[in-house]
Amino acid sequence: MTRHPTDILDAARTLFLKSDVAKKYGIKDVVFRPIAAAQWRPLIEQGQADVAWGGGPTLFDSLYKDGLLLPLEGDEVKAALAQIPKTIAGMPMMRTGADGKVYWVAWAVSSFGITINTKVLKAAGVPEPKTWSDLASFDYGRAVLRGMPVTGLSRLTQSTSNTRIAEIVLQAYGWDEGWRVITLTAANGKIFGGSEAVRDAVIAGDIGAGWTIDFYGYTAQLQNPDTRYVIPPDTSVNGDPIAVVKNTRCRAAAEAFVAWVITDGQAIVFDPRINRMPVNPNAFNTPEGQKRPDLKSIYDYMLNLKTIAFNDTLALAVENVVMYYFDAAITDNADILQQTWAKLVKAYSEGKIDKAKAEELAKKLAQPVTFTDPETGKPTKLTLEYAMKINDKLTDPTYRDKIYAAWREAARRQYQEVATQIP
């Protein structure tokens, strides 16, 4: 059972079936079932699966707690586990039970970050970003004044990876400050129709820094030597697990497959179509790995990085609000938001207002709106608590349309009001 796309699965099957491991265990084929996580439990209960692969640690920890994963106990798999770091960027790369046994192990490392074009940033006269908030800075705003919008992100309703980045920012900085960072990042650049478009704009040099998932950054590095993938310390990194499931009918062969995936099978991550980060440092000693010093330098950096402890439950509890509020308040009002921000940056740069006043107005411009609640008719501030309360209601298109319109109008009024306060 897997959540992986076919490029990973096809590469793994081809390479594995040629391996000595497959011959030793008489494995003639690997059948992949790319199905929704909700369908995994019944398959495991019915004994119709051997291995679970890909889908993130939250899913695998849930299977582990329900007793649906078997410990990895064979000699081969134990020898393979010994090659894997216990943590990367402070996050676990394996789940060890109270019994001291390992129940899942990461096969690849996933992260969310910023893909930058160093040439564009240099031409724009702005420093390379180190944190998410750097993209929301007055420094980057000055590049906008010179006609060089340097940042890029996607409409959140069009990108799961950019939605996850928005959720990371909101958890790293807190609700109000997080929305300031997100809103001013959009004010400093362009909003695209999807995350691939963000990546392509960085590669092409249309923007200098864009929100991306890690493998988009690695792809950019291959295509344009001026690009680089940056991992902010205020981000989230996790290991993508693989495990043997309860009721497997061929446990030894299943463990052998897991052992292969985290050792010789690591070669597939270097396939240009896949471009993932291996979990096993020995992968960089292979002929394929030695051709990717770009990935090795990021891997070494991540080893000792301390990132935020991302809360999946909290992210899911506000996900609909985050997506639709971004599109209503920011995407649909990008024109007036960017005009007001440019006016504020200009006033500050020309000394018409001091730093304290500029920051106060920036906070007012980008704070979550107070709007007329379509159900009560009362003025309501979009707090984290309110977002959690209404999140599930946004699945109803009628309700969603009403609150979307209320957010859009309130944000427009807020941007216009701030514009009147700038000399």
Q: Identify whether the C-beta of residue 336 lies closer than 8 Å to the C-beta of residue 415.
A: yes
pLDDT of residue 304: 87
DSSP element (H, E) containing 405? helix 397-420
CA-based radius of gyration for the chain: 24
Contacts of 205 (CB under 8 A, 6+ apart): 117, 119, 120, 224, 226
User: Cα-flanking dihedrals φ and ψ of residue 361, to 5°?
Assistant: -70, -35
- Specify the DSSP class assigned to residue 174: -
d(CA 175, CA 314): 12
Neighbours of 145 (CB within 10 A): 13
- Specify the DSSP class assigned to residue 34: B
| Dihedral sign of CA atoms 201, 207, 213, 214 in order | positive
Single-letter code of the amino acid located at 413: R
DSSP element (H, E) containing 399? helix 397-420
Place of tokens 């590469």: 11
Beta strands in 32-180 (DSSP E): 51-53, 69-70, 87-88, 91-92, 94-96, 102-117, 151-154
- Specify the DSSP class assigned to residue 239: E
Contacts of 349 (CB under 8 A, 6+ apart): 138, 142, 145
Q: In terms of DSSP H, where are the helices of 350-396?
A: 355-366, 384-390
pLDDT of residue 38: 87
pLDDT of residue 36: 87
Place of tokens 């392509």: 200
- DSSP for 321-332? HHHHHIIIIIIT
Place of tokens 């929100």: 211
- What does the CA dihedral 298, 303, 309, 315 come to, rounded to 10 degrees? 30
Which pLDDT tens digits describe the chain residue by residue (423 residues)?
A: 999 999 999 999 999 999 999 999 999 999 999 988 889 999 999 999 999 999 889 899 999 999 999 999 999 999 999 999 999 999 999 999 999 999 999 999 999 999 999 999 999 999 999 999 999 999 999 999 999 999 999 999 999 899 999 999 999 999 999 999 999 999 999 999 999 999 999 999 999 999 999 999 999 999 999 999 999 999 999 999 999 999 999 999 999 999 999 999 999 999 988 999 999 999 999 999 999 999 999 999 999 899 998 998 999 999 999 999 999 999 999 999 999 999 999 999 999 999 999 999 999 999 999 999 999 999 999 999 999 999 999 999 999 999 999 999 999 999 999 999 999
pLDDT of residue 143: 96
pLDDT of residue 238: 92
Q: Identify whether the C-beta of residue 161 lies closer than 8 Å to the C-beta of residue 218.
A: no
